[in-house]
Structure 1
Amino acid sequence: MQTHCSITIFGEVLFDCFPDATEVLGGAPFNVAWHLRGFGLAPRLVSRVGRDGRGERIRSAMGRWGLDVSALQSDPSHPTGQVSVTLVGGEPRYEIVSGSAYDFIDPPEPCAVSAMGLLYHGTLALRHPASAAALTSLKSRHQGPIVLDVNLRRPWWSIETVLPLVEDAHHVKLNAAELALLTADAPPDEDDGVALAASMHRFAESHRLETLVVTRGALGALLWRGGEVVSVAPAAAGPVVDTVGAGDGFAAVLLLGLSQGWPWAESLARAGDFAAGLVSRRGATIDDPSVYAQFLTSWGVG
């Protein structure tokens, strides 16, 4: 598949580290870049890893998958990012370890990253002033649409840091709970699509967004664009094996749709379709190119 524009992905890449010593490669921006490559595009990931074994494993994995590593920085002082997963009363508890390499991303050289096309980022990697400054520098010369994927992780966010990111973005994706956290509205019942649509309209209008997408899990998604809110039905229900990374898969297909000029409602329907396929599998990414090809074929865009 040929992309109609370049895609730059900014943010964290890390390992989820489990009590049994299992380590799973991830991080929302990394997952999004991985999926886009699976769909045949050539995104460029701007991130940072340590000069350690985990960093080498990330470079190797990206190389095998055909992902561009030219904007993946090496940090001599800080380790590759990790999330420490522990079990408390049988339930997992996640500690997003601070002081990781992706907290200290340097502004990429102008020749390393296109100033055109799509720029995608989340919120977690901006918890440290160094990476936040790098994104600000990148945005200062970027001339294409900016896509913000809100991912609020306590204690690594605040209203004061997230809302300016919304102001800079053209397209924003978040879930209903995150929308409630970023507004003065009382949290609407997710089943109450009317109240949620009204909250979306106020939020999108106040921040001058082009597009606002609110995901609702099994209820599908709502799309605000041009002052109108439309509901996108959920994908056909199937077995749920692992929900980790479903939102990243959803975001990747939205970017895919933007790069290919798909109608928004069509992009959201396909994003829900892909996310439903992801949760039926173990893991946040897929290392089989044929699976991505099957989705493209089913959408008639292979």
Structure 2
Amino acid sequence: MSALICGSLAYDTIMVFPDHFKKHILPEQIHILSVSFLVPEMRRELGGCAGNIAYTLKMLGSEPLIMATVGQDFGMYATWLEQLQIRQDYISEQEGFTGQCFITTDLDDNQIAAFHPGAMGMSHVNRVGDVSDQVKIGIVAPDGKQGMQDHARQFAEAGIPFIFDPGQGMPMFSGDELLELINLASYLTLNDYEAEMICKATGLTLEQLASKVDALIVTLGAEGATIYADGICHEIPPVKAAAVLDPTGCGDAFRAGLLHGILQGWDWPSTGRLASLLGSIKIAHRGGQNHKFTQGSLAEQYRAAFGMDMPN
């Protein structure tokens, strides 16, 4: 059984400005802003929600299938996926660029970012019904708006349970549009900020939203997570990270843990603990696809973090 991951694939270019933005931006001149930053440190990471989720899910031993649209510059990323033995059957190439994010960070970790969606805007050309593999679980992660809507509807029509993960795509949707997708989904996952946003957009409380899905998962950063399921609120403890280097992709690693636990038929406390652990492993590495673990090392870290064995 496979997990179908509908979401973005993107290149992230991260530049570090070895100073503070506030020294170079004059508040009284913000209406004529024109600034240039020398960035001697730069790196390029492979990212996008679908790629990050698939990366961690593959290491867990599950079978990720990515459904995404990419541009004609995807060759380097495709080679990486080949090395990971992550299938590319449902990744379609479009004209133009793969999604691109350009991020400049200063010494206070403030960020100025620009995102070019590129081929991501064509995500709706892919259809869940075209997947020939047997899919047990899906996820609709941030992507082109129409693609997210279409894929949610297609999962529901096919009777495939799926996680709705609006993430940074949430501002694209009205409250009514969000409610439609939530009503189609089996699971809803948000971070704490997104949870406040979606409650405001829909006019519903978290408890009311939880009643519409089999499980509502809310991540709380360094405070762990909360899972509302079967009328129970499961408090998932945090895991202290070996280092806090880069939060990019932590939510995606967490979601890979959710997908794996669902695929394995684990209960929610065990699934949540695995997801929490994976987020802490990721944050100790830069980029969304540079952390590593083995089945053995993961089991040891699970036992050390929670005082119990990880389910088989």
In structure 2, runs of 5+ residues without a counterpart are 16-40, 303-309
Counterpart in the other structure of 2:9 = 13
SS in 1 for 2:199: coil
Counterpart in the other structure of 2:111 = 92
Letter in 1 for 2:288: A
Return the alpha-carbon distance in structure 1 between the equivalents of residues 192 and 149 of structure 2. Answer: 28
Return the alpha-carbon distance in structure 1 between the equivalents of residues 175 and 91 of structure 2. Answer: 29
Deviation of 1:210 (Å): 0.8
Say if 1:241 and 1:279, in contact at 8 Å, map to a contact too.
Answer: yes
In structure 1, runs of 5+ residues without a counterpart are 188-197
- Cα displacement string for residues 84-136 of structure 1 (whole angstroms, at most 9, x for unaligned residues): 213579632122213x11210213374534464101112x3133x3x246425
Counterpart in the other structure of 1:269 = 273
Matched, 1:80 2:98: yes
Moved more, 30-39 or 133-142: 133-142
Return the alpha-carbon distance in structure 2 between the equivalents of residues 294 and 12 of structure 1. Answer: 29
* Pairing 1:53-202 to 2, within 5 Å after superposition: 55-75=74-94, 77-87=95-105, 91-98=110-117, 100-105=118-123, 106-108=125-127, 110-114=129-133, 116-122=135-141, 124-127=142-145, 129=146, 131-132=147-148, 134-136=150-152, 138-139=154-155, 141-153=157-169, 156-184=172-200, 199-202=205-208
Deviation of 1:280 (Å): 1.7
SS in 2 for 1:72: strand
In structure 2, relative to structure 1, the CA distance for the partners of 1:46 and 1:293 (3 Å cut) is farther
Deviation of 1:21 (Å): 5.0
Say if 1:115 and 1:141, in contact at 8 Å, map to a contact too.
Answer: no
In structure 2, relative to structure 1, the CA distance for the partners of 1:71 and 1:226 (3 Å cut) is same
Moved more, 217-226 or 230-239: 230-239
Paired-residue identity, %: 21
Say if 1:45 and 1:72, in contact at 8 Å, map to a contact too.
Answer: yes
Matched, 1:212 2:216: yes
Return the alpha-carbon distance in structure 2 between the equivalents of residues 66 and 107 of structure 1. Answer: 21
- Cα displacement string for residues 222-280 of structure 1 (whole angstroms, at most 9, x for unaligned residues): 11111221212212354211111111111101110000011111111121112111112
Deviation of 1:293 (Å): 4.5
Counterpart in the other structure of 2:243 = 239
